[in-house]
């Protein structure tokens, strides 16, 4: 029977962990080349570190001056290192200086601007008038003035049946966007003379604001002795800023057509003598 050394172990008593490929370095010490853990080998050498470094992809991004960018093909390893060069003073885009057009105005330009008036002149006061009022006041419709698109005209008659008299007037409306200066004319129709008994009534220099209405003075054209007569008012208006316009350039705008007989008042509307009520003041547009 062969004797075994006390230090020897049977093969069945070896563990999964063993030191292999070793060399003896004096005494009982060994220089390990490979350590086996559960059947898996891990090399603890500098070669492993070098392998990791070799598989790292370096992407260099060139940003200076808007140059091209180079991107190598992506590696199969999950770890990617990105190296970005630090920002230097040469890579910063300077803010452009203001152009002459953006600079502050020169002293000469400022002085020229200061010499101009800051406030526009105020419009002149409008020409005052008194709106028509009272009973038995009848008008024709608003009509556009022939000479000016900014003016509309309506003519009216106010009748006093018991006195067999009437007064005649005209209304001028500014339908423009700025103040107008106008001239107007009031006349009668059907009574022989077109002029009013008080004389020619044609006021000038009438200043009317946008949307405003100027009313003539009914007392300036009053007529009596109208029993058995029919009559009308006729009005004209033009824009006349310099006071030299011809009033006849404006279209004739007629009032409703009344008639007085024995104190009975009727109006001719659409060629039919009927009640004057449909023509009651104010006029229709």
Res 161: pLDDT? 96
Residue with tokens 């229709």: 284
Question: What is the per-residue pLDDT across 160-188, written as a single tens digit (0 to 9) for each?
Answer: 999 999 999 999 999 999 999 999 999 99
CA 42, CA 33: separation in Å to the nearest integer? Answer: 10
Res 16: pLDDT? 43
Q: Which residues of 156-177 are buried (b: 16+ CB within 10 A; e: fewer)?
A: bbbbbbeebbbbbbbbbbbbbe
Q: Please measure the distance between the N-terminal and C-terminal CA atoms of the chain and give it in whole angstroms.
A: 145
Res 41: pLDDT? 42
Res 123: pLDDT? 74
Q: Which residues of the chain have pLDDT under 70?
A: 1-122
Say whether 137 sits in a helix, a strand or coil.
strand
Query: In degrees to the nearest 10, what's the CA dihedral of 32, 36, 41, 46?
Result: -20
Q: Which residues contact 216 (CB under 8 A, 6 or more apart)?
A: 129, 169, 170, 171, 184, 186, 201, 203, 235
Res 125: pLDDT? 94
């Amino acid at each position: 029977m062969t004797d075994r050394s006390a230090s020897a172990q049977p093969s069945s008593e070896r563990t999964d962990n063993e030191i292999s490929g070793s060399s003896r370095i004096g005494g009982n010490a060994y220089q390990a080349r490979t350590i086996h853990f559960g059947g898996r080998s891990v090399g603890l050498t500098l070669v492993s570190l070098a392998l990791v470094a070799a598989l790292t992809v370096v992407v260099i991004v060139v940003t200076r001056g808007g140059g091209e960018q180079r991107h190598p093909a992506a590696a199969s390893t999950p770890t990617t290192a990105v190296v970005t060069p630090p920002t230097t003073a040469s890579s910063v885009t300077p803010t452009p200086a203001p152009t002459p057009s953006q600079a502050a105005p020169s002293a000469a330009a400022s002085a020229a601007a200061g010499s101009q008036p800051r406030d526009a002149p105020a419009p002149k006061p409008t020409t005052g008038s008194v709106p028509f009022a009272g009973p038995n006041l009848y008008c024709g419709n608003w009509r556009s003035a022939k000479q000016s698109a900014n003016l509309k005209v309506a003519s009216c008659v106010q009748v006093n049946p018991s006195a067999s008299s009437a007064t005649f007037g005209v209304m001028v409306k500014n339908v423009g966007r700025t103040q107008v200066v106008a001239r107007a004319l009031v006349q009668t129709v059907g009574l022989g003379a077109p002029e009013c008994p008080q004389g020619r009534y044609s006021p000038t220099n009438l200043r009317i604001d946008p949307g405003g209405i100027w009313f003539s003075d009914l007392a300036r054209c009053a007529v009596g002795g109208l029993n058995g007569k029919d009559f009308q008012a006729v009005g004209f208006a033009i824009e006349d800023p310099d006071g030299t316009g011809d009033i006849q350039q404006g279209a004739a705008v007629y009032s409703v057509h009344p008639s007085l007989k024995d104190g009975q008042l009727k109006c001719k509307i659409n060629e039919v003598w009927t009640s004057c009520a449909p023509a009651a003041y104010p006029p229709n547009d």
